[in-house]
Structure 1
Amino acid sequence: MKEHRPYTRAVVSVDENGTRLDTSFRTPHLSVMALGADGERPFLHLSSREAQVIISTTGGGPVTAQDLTLARQIADAAARYLTYCELLHTTQNTTVMLPGLEEVTA
């Protein structure tokens, strides 16, 4: 049986196209917050013990139509993620180990 260990992975690559940062959160130690900064601009903050990602408005300035589009895309993607998680959680097989026997899938 494959063991699924939690982790946060961050990879930085630099090439002729510039710098790229890839971050994967696969940990129960993840927090998500939405914050407002004195009514000037909102922040979406994802963090684990090892890394954080902060999303805010274009150039850190006033909210634009493009910022609204991105916020809607984030909300839609989060709703789909929740749906997928709920579906998999209710349908995944549960593996039970019985003493002296091989794995039994319930």
Structure 2
Amino acid sequence: MALDPYTYLTLSMRPGEPSRVGVSFHTVELRAHSWVGENGKPCFDLSTSEATVTVSTAGPVTDQDLTIARDLFNAAAHYLADCERLHSAAENEAA
């Protein structure tokens, strides 16, 4: 059973603890975009018509920023591989 597309947002705030925001995109309307801002900082967006999540550096690019960018790249590559595998399997079942 397929669900209708949706964006799910949670905000947790407890006294004495850091706030936590969660955004889940479950839609074919998801867009990914990257650019370098006017301030020279690299930026990366995931967005739908309902929400946008932006990732950027806190200042000049550091070794930690490179690690985060590589982690994003590797996670996206893994997501792509899973999507391709599952899409292929669904096509083979339909044939």
Q: Does the alignment reach a TM-score above 0.5?
A: yes
Structure 2 distance, partners of 1:56, 1:73, is: 14
Please list every run of 5 or more consecutive structure 1 residues that lacks an aligned counterpart in the other structure. Answer: 95-105
Identity in percent: 40
Which whole-Å deviations, capped at 9, do the CAs of 1:25-67 have from their partners, x for residues lacking one? Answer: 001111100111247110001111111100001x2x1100100
Which structure carries more relative contact order (alpha carbon 8 Å, separation 6+)? Answer: 2
Please list every run of 5 or more consecutive structure 2 residues that lacks an aligned counterpart in the other structure. Answer: none
Aligned-residue Cα RMSD (Å) equals: 1.4
Give runs of ≥4 in structure 1 deviating > 3 Å: none
Compare the two structures and name the one with the higher strand fraction.
Answer: 1
| Match in the other structure for 1:84 | 82
Compare the two structures and name the one with the higher helix fraction.
Answer: 2
Alignment TM-score, normalising by the size of structure 1: 0.80
| Match in the other structure for 1:44 | 44
One-letter code aligned to 1:71 = A
One-letter code aligned to 1:80 = H
One-letter code aligned to 1:6 = P
Aligned residues between the structures: 92
Asked if 1:75 corresponds to 2:73, the answer is: yes
Structure 1 distance, partners of 2:38, 2:52, is: 21
| Match in the other structure for 2:24 | 24
Which whole-Å deviations, capped at 9, do the CAs of 1:57-93 have from their partners, x for residues lacking one? Answer: 1x2x110010001000100110000000000000024
One-letter code aligned to 1:3 = A
Query: Which is higher, the Rg of structure 1 or of structure 2?
Result: 1
Structure 1 distance, partners of 2:80, 2:8, is: 22
Q: Which moved more, 1:34-43 or 1:17-26?
A: 34-43
